[in-house]
Amino acid sequence: MNILTIALRNARKKWVRTLLLLLVFSLGVVSIVALSFVSRVVGDGLEKKLVSYGANILVSPKSEKLTVSYGGFALGDMLFDVSYLDEADTVKRIEGIELRKNVSVIAPKLVVMDHVQGAAVAIVGVRFEQEKLLKGFWMVEQGTFPGETPEQAAARQAMAAPMHDAPAHAPAPKDADPKDAKPTAAVHVPAGADALLAGSAAAEKLGLKLGSVVPLDRHKFVVTGILAPTGSEDDNVLLADMDALQRASGHPGKVNFVEVAALCSGCPIDDIVNQISAALPGVEIKTLRGIVEQRMVSVHFVKKLILSVSLVILLTGCSMVGISMLSAVNERKKEIGILRSLGFSRRAVFSIFCAEAAAVGLLAGFVGYLAGYFVSFRILAVLEIEGAGSLPFEPLHLAATALVLAILTSLASLFPAWKAAGIEPSEALVTL
């Protein structure tokens, strides 16, 4: 029993008021904690998604370019002196910049023009492992990715569409299940030829099917996969493995340009560009600035929104504490008079009021954090957002939340407590 007993007993006696305050503050904390947890998961997911939308930095050799258009009719870009970048060197230099942690994908490209049955088509050489990171939306409609074994393709398809799982009761014997046969049907690539992934529109226009042969000079490519429509430029081209295309086109180790994806909320894009420029003198670097900034703005907007909602909730809670405490001071004038007549100092009276508010804050912070933590799981489940498993429970954050709330409610009760401390025993006790 000490001075805190007085504060806590009163809080307990006025349990309806205490419970109400506790409820409001807990709700505030719940929403803040849940918002921050969910925004963290969503933010992480968003980043991944943003990266999957494609590259945002384009590294290409400096070229003299003249856009020719006459009378509103675009004749296309006329390129003089097509130049190449050395793939290994360029990639190494980009990987060597100081902000390399912010660079998520480096995807070099080699574009070679070819004629298939009289129609011009571009074959684009890519590094598929990088490209797939950059283009998470890619789906192989028929066949496999170049370089993929049928087993890998099956695994990828199983991941993408778990509902098409093979029957669970008995493991189907390998290669015997007719269901597996079609999507993973591997096209045999004869020796001396290379695999080719066809964009949906290109395949249709050129009448390409799995197994079709596309010659390039004296080299042969075999279509082993056809992409589902992506709505992007990839629909119109044929994609080949970089090494194969470099060999076939006679440009070993060379690429036309490199796409770099460096996207994370708050990424210092300008710094990254500057560092890449410094690492690659004489090379042109373009940011798809508009897109980048738009993405950043939306991420920041959401964060700001969450922050302001949190602030409003907390402010509302604080004014509730302030108001309820202030009316309590008037109700409790007599008590204050008794305490003062027993030799309680002004400071002691002040502390009693602050302690009461702090106790509410402490408890609300504690309860609110725990509730917010679990509510986050529910929200993520309802929104069907994955990544709830990565929500770390940190006791330190719990303690910090409770402490911050206690400080906040104490601050809100400063004025009422100060008023209480100023009450003279005579005003409180003298009855007329």
Partner 1 sequence: MHEPQIIDAPLLEAIGITKSFTQDGMASQALKGVSLSVAQGEFVSIVGRSGSGKSTFVSVLSTLLMPDAGQVNYNGKDLVRATEAEINAIRHGDFAVIFQFHYLLPYLTALENTLLPFMRSLKPVTRAQKTRAMECLARVGLADKAHRLPGQLSGGEQQRVAIARALVKEARVLFADEPTGSLDSATGATVMELLGQINTEGLAVVMVTHNEEYARLAHRLVRMEDGLVV
Q: Which residues bind ligand ATP (CB under 6 A)?
A: 430, 432
Indicate the residue among 149 and 345 with the shorter CB distance to partner 1. 345
Burial 77-89 (b: 16+ CB within 10 A, else e): eeeeeeeebebee
Least distance between ligand ATP and beta carbon 432 (Å): 6
H/E element, 92? helix 87-95
Least distance between partner 1 and beta carbon 1 (Å): 4
Indicate the residue among 4 and 23 with the shorter CB distance to partner 1. 4
Cβ 347 vs Cβ 3: under 8 Å: no
337 binds, options ligand ATP, partner 1, none, Cβ within 5 to 8 A by partner type: partner 1
Least distance between partner 1 and beta carbon 362 (Å): 16
Least distance between partner 1 and beta carbon 358 (Å): 13
Indicate the residue among 191 and 430 with the shorter CB distance to ligand ATP. 430
Indicate the residue among 225 and 337 with the shorter CB distance to partner 1. 337
227 binds, options partner 1, ligand ATP, none, Cβ within 5 to 8 A by partner type: none
Contacts of 355 (CB under 8 A, 6+ apart): 3, 4, 7, 8
Q: Give the number of other Cβ atoms within 10 Å of residue 141's Cβ.
A: 13
The alpha carbon of 122 is separated from its chain's Cα centroid by a whole number of angstroms, namely: 33
The alpha carbon of 58 is separated from its chain's Cα centroid by a whole number of angstroms, namely: 22
User: How many angstroms separate the Cα of 12 from the Cα of each of 22, 344, 359?
Assistant: 12, 22, 11
Q: Are strands 219-227 and 57-61 parallel, antiparallel or unpaired?
A: unpaired
Q: Give the number of other Cβ atoms within 10 Å of residue 237's Cβ.
A: 20
348 binds, options partner 1, ligand ATP, none, Cβ within 5 to 8 A by partner type: partner 1
13 binds, options partner 1, ligand ATP, none, Cβ within 5 to 8 A by partner type: partner 1
345 binds, options partner 1, ligand ATP, none, Cβ within 5 to 8 A by partner type: partner 1
Least distance between partner 1 and beta carbon 338 (Å): 5
Indicate the residue among 388 and 429 with the shorter CB distance to ligand ATP. 429
**What are the residues binding partner 1 (CB under 8 A)?**
1-6, 9-10, 12-14, 334-335, 337-346, 348, 424-426, 429-431
Least distance between ligand ATP and beta carbon 332 (Å): 19
Least distance between ligand ATP and beta carbon 346 (Å): 20
Least distance between ligand ATP and beta carbon 337 (Å): 12
346 binds, options partner 1, ligand ATP, none, Cβ within 5 to 8 A by partner type: partner 1
H/E element, 310? helix 289-331
Closest CA to 216 of 233, 201, 196, 235: 196
Indicate the residue among 386 and 424 with the shorter CB distance to ligand ATP. 424
- Taking the C-alpha atoms of residue 224 and residue 334, their distance in angstroms, rounded to an integer, is 89
Indicate the residue among 2 and 67 with the shorter CB distance to partner 1. 2
What are the structure tokens assigned to 268, written together? 């210092």
What are the structure tokens assigned to 280, written together? 């690659």
- Is 248 in a helix, a strand, or coil? helix
Indicate the residue among 163 and 430 with the shorter CB distance to ligand ATP. 430
5 binds, options ligand ATP, partner 1, none, Cβ within 5 to 8 A by partner type: partner 1
Closest CA to 260 of 95, 80, 140: 95
Least distance between partner 1 and beta carbon 102 (Å): 51
Indicate the residue among 402 and 428 with the shorter CB distance to ligand ATP. 428
244 binds, options ligand ATP, partner 1, none, Cβ within 5 to 8 A by partner type: none
- Taking the C-alpha atoms of residue 46 and residue 179, their distance in angstroms, rounded to an integer, is 34
Identify residue 299 by its one-letter amino acid code.
V
What are the structure tokens assigned to 231, written together? 């709505």
319 binds, options partner 1, ligand ATP, none, Cβ within 5 to 8 A by partner type: none
Contacts of 369 (CB under 8 A, 6+ apart): 29, 33, 397, 398, 401, 402
